[in-house]
A and B are shown apart, each in its own frame.
Chain A
Amino acid sequence: MKKTIRRGYLVNTAVLVAVYILCVVLANVFSEVSNFKLILTPSIWQCCYLIILAASLNLVLGFMGQLSLGHCGFMAIGAYTAALISLAFQRAGVYDEKSGIVFVLILFLCVICAGVLAAMFGVLVGIPALRLKGDYLAIITLGFGLIIVNVINNLPFAGQNGLAEGVASSSLYQNGLGFGTTAKVTYLWVALAVTIICVALMFMFIRSKYGRAVRAIRDDEIAASAAGINTGYYKVLTFAFSAFFAGIAGALYACSNSTLSTASFSFTNGSILNSTFVVVMVVLGGMGSLTGSIVSAVIMFVLNYQIANGSWVSSLPGFIQGVFTYPMLVYAIVLVIIIMFRPKGIFGTYEFSLLRTPGEFVRWIKGLGGKKKAKPEGKEAAAQ
């Protein structure tokens, strides 16, 4: 193993662990503050699943260059799987209170199962769908997304009270996970740990030989297959990998919502959690930049939250306030403006790196004061 690579692993792992510990410590310190409990914790939960969701779509959209418009379908599979498995354990009497080591084990089991089932469906959808590309793929994935939701609506065990007491319905009112406000604080570490592990895995994936192969396919599929890359295999693999993480995001969603409804996973709906807005997050952050997806997921969440709930909205002039009562209108305008002026997204293909970014940042600060000699943009893209 090369020295720099080993140093990279060490530094990255150390920093991730440090960040995680810091977050958990902070969470414990502030756990009694009411705003932390009521506002910040649910926000972090929502950010966590949005980050995983956006980053996982970026694997397909940004790194493989294939537009998928049904990503939330996989999230729905994950969410329902996690909710129903945990409910089965609860009904079987394995756990009663949402605490204790048994519950934590079941929680992680649900998360893994959600991911695995979603990945299986990812393979199922991917094999036929990835024979097509571009706009056709977009439409076919959109179709799959709608089919998944339509089928869940008609599953008798996934509606109303769930399992044996269920009736086919679009709402599942019972959920074995479904944390309340206090439990969300207690299990905040789960959300953070799962998110950090998922993001780290995705970073590792795109930097492995698989990631390089996938990017080669994006840049030129024919050249890639001429160079001996089995394009079909890699495409389905990436698709399944992406679906796996979408399923995990779904499990986190099931944790933060006491009930599930298929309307939350549709193509468009009232919130920012839908197949359209995941694409928006990826494009906004930069296709081919996991850093971008993470940042833009958080930006979209904060923007959405603030427009809906921020007190500063009422101090705006009347006209803008009027526009802000229609948040989707604002997002549409923001999206068009970003695409017009920055079609590559905020980060382009830039990736944050603990080893490089601090140095680059220092140089950039120095550069601000001194001569304005821009570094060629392609270099950093090539350097990752």
Chain B
Amino acid sequence: MKKKLLALLLALCMVFVLAACGSETDSDAETSGGDSGEASGDTIKIGMIGPQTGSNAAYGTSMLEGLQMTIDEINEAGGILGRQVELIATDDRGDATEAQNAFNNLISQGVTLIIGSATSGATSALTNLANEEGVVLITPSATADDITTEDDYVFRACFKDTLQGSIAAAYVEQAGITRVGTIACSADPYSSGLVNAFISACQERGIEVVEQQSTATMDAQDFTNQFTAMASADVDLVYAIYYYNAVGPFLVTQARAAGYDGIIMGADGYDGALDYVSEGADYSAFNDVIYTNHYDPSDTSAAVQDYVTAYSELYGTTPLCFAALASDCMMMLQTAIETAGTDEASAVRDALSDTSVTYEGVTGTFTLDESGTPIKGAAVISFAYDESVGGLDGLGTELVTTISSDEIA
């Protein structure tokens, strides 16, 4: 008897909840950011979709932090077009279906300008929906080539894979290196996408890709075998695409221990790796580790320095590239809204589609191409260990060179 009672109760609950989910629209979502003192009808609503929990949570949380900081700054300065900006943040847990649900829910709340999501997998699930619904979607860090196409509502603030891959290949050519190897993770679109782009760019430039290795997961702990193979193939440079959480603690030290002495090259995922170097490790291993990045954090330009200082004052850490890119997304939106004179999605889209507009963000000065992807050069940055300073403090970054977008054409 109790069993049926429980079953009935649950069924009733379900019906109510379903009914509730069908009817509610007006109220705000769980996290409303900014100090939106004014009436909510008068604010510009910006939606954010990103992984706040789950295994990609680090990307989403720093996205949110950067975005929140920028929006607070905008609001303090009087908002956009005299209206305050309201951030509605949602959590997609790094999953495509959850991202779609969050996206649809944001639209039903009347949000038409959305920043997200962090990874290509989740973002690619949203692009068709954004075009169909006429909602502007700017992704800070989805790098897969097909995310943005011409004449659509999707834009981004980061490189696409082919661009970053060709930049790396251009650097390799400039440095006069002819034998390279690659290490990618087949289970991760960022890693495999970038390495595939690098390989095809190398073939165009006549650089020989001698050895290709891979790992099964991004969480792989041991790269020794892969680098042993590189050492015996006698390559001068290894293009290994992993994130800071593998590069800092063990990838580099294992490579050196495996007898590989050449250059290790990475991409923007290496940014911040020095914060994750194990104390007491062999710091000199980090010499000859270089990576392409959107910007040089040690850049003395005011935009970068102000941002890094403000961010570390607020959150106590140096910003990951996800935070800086999310802030740039907001900056792009701000510029577009001001140009359009309205926050209506189609007008904002037209403003963003204008390829002559120059954006000055934390991650560099850039214009957008026809598809809505930034045309920007990259900074090639190297880790360097200064033995005279010693210890963890002796590790730093230095700018090797900058490669402009003309050089890769």
Contact = CB atoms under 8 A, between A and B. Distances in A.
A–B contact at 8 Å CB threshold (below):
yes
A328 B25 contact: no
Interface stretch (A5-13, A70-78, A81-89, A299-307): A299-307
Interface in A112-157: 149-150, 153-154
A326 B105 CA distance: 19
Given A167-B196, A311-B28, A302 B1 contact: no
B243 to A, nearest CB: 15
Contact of A171 (B17, B108, B189): B189
A150 B216 contact: yes
A312 B53 CA distance: 20
Given A311-B27, A311-B29, A346 B51 contact: no
Contacts of B133: 181
A160 B146 CA distance: 9
Contact of A314 (B30, B51, B101): B30
Interface centre among B51, B96, B133 (most CB of A within 10 A): B96
A44 B29 CA distance: 22
A267 interface: no
Contacts of B186: 153-154, 168-170
Contact of B1 (A39, A171, A364): A364
B193 A169 contact: yes
A36 interface: yes
B216 A270 contact: no
Interface in A256-290: 256-259, 261-264, 269-271, 273
Interface string B77-104: 0000000000000111111111011101
A271 B189 CA distance: 19
Interface in B1-56: 1, 3-4, 6-7, 10-11, 14, 17-18, 20-25, 27-32, 51-56
Chain A interface size, as a band, is: 35 or more
Contacts of A342: 6
Interface in A42-83: 42-43, 46
B104 A302 contact: no
A150 B185 CA distance: 11
B313 interface: no
B363 interface: no
Given A302-B21, A310-B20, A375-B1, A181 B129 contact: yes
A170 B193 CA distance: 10
A39 B104 contact: yes
A308 interface: yes
Nearest to B120: A171
- Which residue, A36, A43, A259, has most C-beta atoms of chain B within 10 A? A259
A313 B10 contact: no
B181 interface: no
Given A263-B121, A269-B94, A350-B3, A34 B108 contact: yes
A310 B21 contact: yes
B108 A264 contact: no
B192 interface: yes
A310 B21 CA distance: 7
B97 A273 contact: yes
A180 B107 CA distance: 14
Contact of A321 (B30, B95, B97, B129): B30
A151 to B, nearest CB: 10
Contacts of B54: 269-270, 328
A199 interface: no
A346 B12 CA distance: 14
A358 to B, nearest CB: 13
A43 B128 contact: no
Contact of B96 (A43, A264, A311, A347): A264
Given A257-B125, A309-B105, A270 B51 contact: yes
Contacts of A40: 21-22
Contact of A308 (B18, B102, B121, B189): B102
B288 interface: no
B193 A160 contact: yes
A367 interface: yes
B188 interface: yes
A308 B17 contact: no
A170 B23 CA distance: 37
A217 interface: no
Interface string B181-218: 00000111100110010000000000000000000100
A174 B127 CA distance: 12
4 closest A-B pairs by beta carbon, nearest first, are A270-B93, A270-B54, A271-B95, A261-B121
Interface of A: 34-36, 38-40, 42-43, 46, 149-150, 153-154, 159-161, 167-171, 173-174, 178, 180-182, 256-259, 261-264, 269-271, 273, 295, 298-299, 302, 305-306, 308-314, 321, 324-328, 342, 346-348, 350, 364, 367, 372, 374-375, 377
17 contacts: A38-B107, A39-B21, A150-B216, A153-B187, A154-B186, A161-B146, A169-B186, A170-B192, A258-B125, A261-B189, A270-B94, A305-B21, A306-B17, A311-B29, A314-B30, A346-B6, A375-B1
Interface of B: 1, 3-4, 6-7, 10-11, 14, 17-18, 20-25, 27-32, 51-56, 90-98, 100-102, 104-105, 107-108, 120-121, 124-125, 127-129, 132-133, 144, 146, 186-189, 192-193, 196, 216
